[in-house]
Amino acid sequence: MPSRRAHRRVAADAGLLVVAAAFVLPLAWVLLSAVDPHADLRVRVPDGLTLGNFDAVLTPDVTFTPLLNSLVLCGSGTLLTVACAALAAYPLSRFRSRFNRPFLLTILFATCLPITAIMVPVYALFVRVNLIDTMQGTILFFAASQLPFAVWLMKNFMDGVPRELEEAAWTDGASAFQSLTRIVLPLMGPGVAVVTVFSFVMMWGNFFVPFMLLLSPDQMPASVSINDFFGNRGTVVYGQLAAFSVVYSTPVILLYVVVAGRVGSGFALGGAVKG
Amino acid sequence: MRAAGRPLSRTLTRALPVTPAVVLLVLFLAGPIAYCAYIAFTDLQLTGQAESSFIGFENFRTAFKDKAFLNAVWLTLVFTVLSSLLGQNTLGLALAALMQRASKPVRTLVGGIVITAWVLPEVVAGFLLYAFFRREGTLNAILAWLHLPSQNWLFTLPILAVSFANVWRGTAFSMLVYSAALNEIPKEITEAAEMDGAGGWRRMWHITLPMIRRSIGTNLMLNTLQTLSVFGLIWVMTRGGPGNRSQTLPLFMYEQAFQKSMIGYGTAVALLLLVVGSLFSVVYMRLLRTEV
């Protein structure tokens, strides 16, 4: 038996490596092109190493302003989502009420709605109420669009914190808000981290929402401004596009690695969506 | 259930923390959906906001006679079946199953690569696969190296190229869901089947798949919903073209609303998409029913 098992492991390894080779090619292109002085569209070993592409894109106009815009949009949106989700999850997790079930079902339903489909009416609505092309409007919409999933995740994580720990605090006269912020949230640190990182990563990569709701170029986040490499500047400098892609993608990859390392690479997805 | 005699004020106090979330959801999610359902029945245009009038089902009648709309429905179907059903779902399951048997370093490496593709921002993923499929891109370079005929993929088979792009980007999700599901199957069961002499494929078909069928349902639902609303990936790679040969419903909706200024018509298409999405949501909720 052992030899057969070893044989099977080699076969599985080989199969996985073949698939991985196909997956790695586009990633290799962006990494190699970013340091290639003469990058084009195919994967190849650079004929010389350069940081010139990074030098060229790391300017306020091309990189810093869009990244700062992304940070303001996604940071504020995430804070708002996580705060609202934590508050909403508390009574849902701790108190029994006949409203809990319908509320959670509505939340779950909203989690699944294709947000893309409502962007045209959101645009029309934002024009009417003067929220179009404003950071605060976009932040509020971002927060609302991530909120259903955030509430759902947060409630599931909160259910995992035993009630007994709070009951002691209640007898000492702590309010519900105090026991939420001082006892429950610290105890579900990894859960809060997952909700925060997940919301942030989703917003950071989102293209359609800012593309629709923001108009002036100086407010655009990186997800939209990256298209300028194609449009207005004549021929595309692929090395610079690659360098910008690396700079723009690095934060979310790092965040993922940090959270996955601490919570387990299932990213709590298993717990959130398992059926 | 509110116990008899429990004061109403207490229920209200307890519900207070939910208020910010409810306000946000009502204003920015329920509001637009209601507005969507309203303007889908008007002839609202991008210019001249003042006079839009109620035109009943006219937009929907137009849509079902519109060749471009029917083309978009067909392409959305092709895109969803190819990339979600056949692509992400099957490949994700295959990867998860292989990972159960693979050695740890290979598992970590492959998982890392596949997940990186998933975590990358949508637009970046679009550019990477644009470069991959272009005439001068990596795919043709490999084909030439193998002495196979190359072609301009984004021109000849745009819907296939964007479907592959979506598989590249989305497979990690299925892989994670199935890995979690497979880990929960007790070892004794598979080992017993092995002792009885059941081969790999038969074990997969008769034992593994039935045991993870709920995960399969959940995963298919979520994949399909996600795929239905893909916009940025296709926009970056092809803009829906050439012509409208990769124009799925979200791109069609966008074109009608903004490039042709027909907000009312674009919204009617959006409403159809929303209804299809809602149907999938309801099925998904039934699958999860026991857990709420």
Question: The domain spanning residue A198 has which CATH number?
Answer: 1.10.3720.10
- ipTM value: 0.86
Shared domain for A14 and A61, answered yes or no, is no
Shared domain for A75 and A18, answered yes or no, is no
Shared domain for A135 and A227, answered yes or no, is yes
Task: Give the best residue of A40, A119, A120, A253 to mutate against chain B (max B CB count within 10 A).
Answer: A120
Average pLDDT, chain A: 85
Looking at the complex, report in whole angstroms how far the Cα of residue A143 sits from the nearest Cα belonging to chain B.
Answer: 8
Domain count, chain A: 2
Shared domain for A61 and A162, answered yes or no, is yes
* Residue located via tokens 């981290």: A193
Q: How many of the other CB atoms lie within 10 Å of CB of B258?
A: 15
Which chain A residues are Cβ-neighbours of B132 within 8 angstroms? Answer: 25-26, 29
Over range A128-153, report the average pLDDT: 92
**Is B231 close to A208, i.e. CB distance below 8 A?**
yes
Residue of A nearest to B217 (CA): A275
**pLDDT given at position A234:** 58
Shared domain for A22 and A146, answered yes or no, is no
Over range A229-253, report the average pLDDT: 82
Q: pLDDT per residue over A170-194, tens digit each?
A: 787 778 788 888 888 888 888 898 8
What is the secondary structure of A64-118 as a DSSP string? IHHHHHHHHHHHHHHHHHHHHHHHHHHHHHHS--TTHHHHHHHHHHHHHS-GGGG
Shared domain for A86 and A142, answered yes or no, is yes
The torsion of the CA quartet A209, A213, A218, A224, rounded to 10 degrees, works out to 30
Shared domain for A190 and A78, answered yes or no, is yes
Between A44 and B126, the higher pLDDT residue: B126
Shared domain for A38 and A122, answered yes or no, is no
Structural domains in chain B plus CATH codes? 52-291 (1.10.3720.10)
**Is A41 close to B128, i.e. CB distance below 8 A?**
no
Residue of A nearest to B2 (CA): A97
Chain A and chain B share a number of CB contacts under 8 A equal to 301
Print pLDDT tens along chain B (292 aa): 444 556 777 777 777 888 999 999 999 999 999 988 888 888 887 765 556 778 878 888 888 888 889 999 999 999 999 999 899 999 999 999 999 888 889 988 998 899 999 989 999 999 999 989 988 888 888 888 888 887 888 888 899 999 999 999 999 989 988 988 888 888 788 778 777 777 777 777 888 888 888 888 888 888 888 898 899 999 999 888 788 888 999 999 999 888 888 888 888 998 998 898 888 888 877 776 655 4
* Residue located via tokens 């990256």: A226
Helix (H, G, I), strand (E, B) or coil at B42: strand
**pLDDT given at position A159:** 86
Looking at the complex, report in whole angstroms how far the Cα of residue B65 sits from the nearest Cα belonging to chain A.
Answer: 21
**pLDDT given at position B244:** 86
**pLDDT given at position A274:** 36
Shared domain for A198 and A245, answered yes or no, is yes
Which chain A residues are Cβ-neighbours of B125 within 8 angstroms? Answer: 26
Contact, B118 vs B172, CB < 8 A?
A: yes
Out of A69-78, A247-256, A261-270, B191-200, pick the least confident. A261-270
Which chain A residues are Cβ-neighbours of B271 within 8 angstroms? Answer: 117
Task: Give the best residue of B9, B113, B237 to mutate against chain A (max A CB count within 10 A).
Answer: B113
Nearest CB partner across the interface for A41, out of B110, B131, B253 = B131
C-alpha closest to that of B190 among B101, B87, B61: B101
* Last residue of one domain, picked from the residues A31, A50, A69: A50
Shared domain for A3 and A111, answered yes or no, is no
Over range A212-232, report the average pLDDT: 85
Q: pLDDT per residue over A87-112, tens digit each?
A: 999 888 888 888 888 888 888 888 88
Nearest CB partner across the interface for A114, out of B273, B284, B287 = B273
* Last residue of one domain, picked from the residues A35, A50, A65: A50
Which chain A residues are Cβ-neighbours of B113 within 8 angstroms? Answer: 20, 23-24, 27
Shared domain for A46 and A149, answered yes or no, is no
Shared domain for A42 and A65, answered yes or no, is no
Domain that holds residue A177: 57-273
